[in-house]
Amino acid sequence: MNGIPRNGIGMTSARTRARMVERLRGKGIRDERVLAALAGVPPHLFVERALASRAYEDTALPIGFSQTISQPYVVARMIEVLIAGKQPKNVLEVGTGCGYQAAVLARIYPEVYSIERIKGLLERARANLLGLRLANLRLAHGDGYAGLEKAAPFQSIVVAAAAPSVPEALLRQLAPGGRMVLPLRAGVGGAQRLVLIERSGRGFVETELDAVRFVPLEAGKA
Ligand code: SAH
């Protein structure tokens, strides 16, 4: 997978990714498993050709259907928090979008599930991911508010869109000892914060992390 030229990806993009990884290190990402995973997934495969050169920056680029790609730094940060001190097992991502974060997750976890509510976007993600041949990644069309009961419980859950409160189903589908990272917003259009939720034997422990900006988590399939 890594380093195999496809659609003109060659040394240039490998160098661009190496620079991106150095920038992530500079911004505080320390987990080598996470840095290696990001080095292996070219973000430009997930956006339109005209935006390709900007896919390595930490900016919100459009991916169609009024949605945006997750920025490399935010992807790195969320996964680092999820796997700190853990041996990765299985993960659920809510909000596949263009498939970028799903591809990064699939280079870290042996089992990855990602659900997306917009059918057209899920199809686009499938097309983007085809060449990467990630056999351990399963995509599903569904509403993240309901999670993915049939594959639960999950060691990790990561949500790529902001909700006003933690969806109940996701709490239920988190394995004991598991962690969830999600952006929560204070009211409509309010400030967002990344929140870590850990499930212990006795209940859930919540920790507030960085200020972030995600598109809203919306109910129902589209
Ligand atoms: N992880 C993506 C980011 C996509 S942006 C990436 O790497 O690019 C967030 C995505 O969440 C959008 O595609 C949006 O359609 C999706 N989304 C919003 N609400 C959802 C819900 N209830 N269930 C599933 N997906 C949802």
- Quick check: 129 and 104 in contact, CB under 8 A? no
Q: Note the residue count of the chain.
A: 222
Mean pLDDT in order along the chain per 10 residues (222 residues):
47 83 97 97 92 89 94 97 98 98 98 98 97 96 98 98 97 98 88 97 95 95 96
Q: Count other Cβ atoms within 10 Å, centred on residue 143.
A: 18
CA distance 3 to 33: 17
Tell the residue nearest (CA) to atom 11 of ligand 1: 95
At which residue do the structure tokens 């089992």 appear? 111
- Say what angle helices 32-39 and 11-26 make with each other, to 10 degrees: 150
Positions marked active-site: 70
Q: Count other Cβ atoms within 10 Å, centred on residue 210.
A: 14
pLDDT for position 5: 46
Tell the residue nearest (CA) to atom 26 of ligand 1: 95
- Quick check: 105 and 156 in contact, CB under 8 A? no
Q: Taking the CA of residue 34 as centre, how many other CA atoms within 13 Å lie in the half-sphere pointing to its CB?
A: 23
- Quick check: 41 and 100 in contact, CB under 8 A? yes
SS3 138: strand
Q: CB of 44 closer than 6 A to ligand 1?
A: no
- Quick check: 54 and 43 in contact, CB under 8 A? no
**Distance from Cα 127 to the centre of ligand 1, integer Å:** 16
The residue whose CB lies within 8 Å of the most ligand 1 atoms, and thus the one to mutate among 73, 92, 96, 213, is 96
Phi then psi for residue 70, to 5 deg, are -70, 135
**Distance from Cα 70 to the centre of ligand 1, integer Å:** 9
Q: CB of 169 closer than 6 A to ligand 1?
A: no
Atom of ligand 1 nearest to the CA of 144: 23
CA distance 168 to 201: 17
Tell the residue nearest (CA) to atom 2 of ligand 1: 97
**Distance from Cα 11 to the centre of ligand 1, integer Å:** 31
pLDDT for position 190: 84
